[in-house]
Amino acid sequence: MSDSAIKQLQKEFPPIKNNLILRACRGEPLERVPIWIMRQAGRYLPEYLSLRSEHSFFDVCRTPALCCEVTLQPLRRFDLDAAIIFSDILVVPQALGMQVDMIAKEGPRFAHPLNVPADIKLRIDRSRQASVELKYVYDAITLTRHALNGQCPLIGFSGAPWTLMSYMIEGKGSETHSKAKKWLYTYVEESHDLLQFLTHFIIDHLVEQVCAGAQLLQLFESHCGCLNHDLFIRFSLPYLRQIAKGVREALTRRHIPYVPLIIFAKDAHYALDELCSSSFDVVGLDWSITRKQIRTIRDKYPTVTLQGNLDPCALYASSDDLEKMIKQMLEIFGTKHYIANLGHGIYPDANIDNVKHFIDTVHRISSEMISSTTLTKTINSNK
């Protein structure tokens, strides 16, 4: 598609039919709680596996028509309240010049990870621009926003600086992230320099996604489990805050209406206060966050929308047990300022019937809860 054809398309997005999730971010009264599922497009769907048998993972990411198809697959099966563009957090290191391959049954693998700071010059091309290198992501977003035909909002996303830096050093998934953490203790200045550079690139990547049609953004800081409070405060939080501020300012500069920002900092149970006071509209909670912690932050930060946090493994339970867990979850989070989701990405062997049951049950129970409170309020006001 030519640039002018894409610009034209962006102006003519179909009107939105279901904006529940956008209203939940603003804390507006709703008729039911919105729900989407992290990794909702993925290997638990036979139609995804069938498409993947013909195309490599990053070929799908780089082909807008395939991205669009895969993004829509879960929406054809389930009554979801948001779509998330099919892509990956590792398209950013690729855009900067690093070679990343997706190895079957293993996960992502960097051909030449960063060992020492001198490698940065060799492996990373600082002149690269998101708008050029990741144009395929933005084209996929514009195409998908049209194909959705207003069914629900489309989420764009990026990995956060620390998570990307740790992948670039480890070169693959890691239990301890000790190679990447070694940088934080031995190459402090160079670590900050890399994190700062990634921050600017990520801001551009997120803003471009909004220009292309993304209606919400989620930032994944997936590797907080290997940090402690001190390291998080020094090497993650300042950059998360810069991204929230930077995206907001860039959108204002370009006269583009603001979109809500979600932060999902996995395993950052030690920093919930900092996350809730960092000017993100939504704080995603992983499945390890306790009911007590949820109640505390819900009461302390009433204007922050919370997202989460059913254990992805709960989808292995019987449908009766699943229903009990959903009820409990809704009772703790409440129905306002809340987006239901899993507490991490769905697993490839998830039971599809239970996925449907999860989504439908959140909708049913939450709408019962909302109509019974409305009824009680009406009765009280008529007394």
Ligand X SMILES: Cc1c2[nH]c(c1CCC(=O)O)Cc1[nH]c(c(CCC(=O)O)c1C)Cc1[nH]c(c(CCC(=O)O)c1C)Cc1[nH]c(c(C)c1CCC(=O)O)C2
Is 265 or 306 the residue whose CB approaches ligand X more closely? 265
Beta carbon of residue 127, minimum distance to ligand X (angstroms, whole number): 25
Residue 109 a catalytic site member: no
Residues 237-276 that bind ligand X (CB under 6 A): 266
Contact residue for ligand X among 84, 100, 140, 240 (CB under 6 A): 84
Q: Does the footprint of ligand X cover residue 41 (CB under 6 A)?
A: yes
Beta carbon of residue 83, minimum distance to ligand X (angstroms, whole number): 9
Is 164 or 365 the residue whose CB approaches ligand X more closely? 164
Candidate segments 100-108, 250-258, 306-314, 324-332, binder of ligand X by CB under 6 A: 100-108
| Number of residues binding to ligand X, judged by CB under 6 A | 23
Per-residue HEC secondary structure of the chain comes to CCHHHHHHHHHCCCCCCCCHHHHHHCCCCCCCCCECCCCCCCCCCHHHHHHHCCCCHHHHHHCHHHHHHHHHHHHHHCCCCCEECCCCCCHHHHHCCCCEEEECCCEEEECCCCCCCHHHHHHCCCCCCHHHHCHHHHHHHHHHHHHHCCCCCEEEEEECHHHHHHHHHHCCCCCCCHHHHHHHHHCHHHHHHHHHHHHHHHHHHHHHHHHHCCCEEEEEECCCCCCCHHHHHHHCHHHHHHHHHHHHHHHHHCCCCCCCEEEEECCCHHHHHHHHCCCCCEEECCCCCCHHHHHHHHHHCCCCEEEEEECHHHHHCCHHHHHHHHHHHHHHHCCCCEEEEECCCCCCCCCHHHHHHHHHHHHHHHHHHHHHHHHHHHHHHHC
Residue 48 a catalytic site member: no
Beta carbon of residue 356, minimum distance to ligand X (angstroms, whole number): 16
Q: Does the footprint of ligand X cover residue 220 (CB under 6 A)?
A: yes
Residue 267 a catalytic site member: no
Q: Does the footprint of ligand X cover residue 191 (CB under 6 A)?
A: no
Candidate segments 21-29, 32-40, 178-186, 371-379, binder of ligand X by CB under 6 A: 32-40
Instruction: Give the active site residue among 32, 39, 123, 298.
Output: 39
Beta carbon of residue 134, minimum distance to ligand X (angstroms, whole number): 14
Residue with the CB atom nearest ligand X in the bound state: 222
Residue 88 a catalytic site member: yes
Contact residue for ligand X among 20, 21, 82, 89 (CB under 6 A): 89
Residue 33: partners with Cβ closer than 8 Å, 6 or more residues away: 20, 24, 330, 335, 338, 339, 340, 362, 363, 366
Instruction: Give the active site residue among 138, 167, 239, 338.
Output: 167
Residues 117-176 that bind ligand X (CB under 6 A): 157, 173
Q: Does the footprint of ligand X cover residue 108 (CB under 6 A)?
A: yes
Candidate segments 83-91, 141-149, 248-256, 312-320, binder of ligand X by CB under 6 A: 83-91
Residue 52 a catalytic site member: yes
Instruction: Give the active site residue among 77, 88, 101, 187.
Output: 88
Instruction: Give the active site residue among 43, 77, 128, 241.
Output: 43
Report which secondary-structure segment, H or E, holds 293: helix 291-300
User: Using CB under 6 A as the criterion, which residues of the chain lie in contact with ligand X when the complex forms?
Assistant: 38-43, 52, 57, 84, 86-90, 102, 107-108, 157, 173, 220, 222, 266, 345
Among all residues, which ones are annotated catalytic?
39, 43, 52, 88, 167
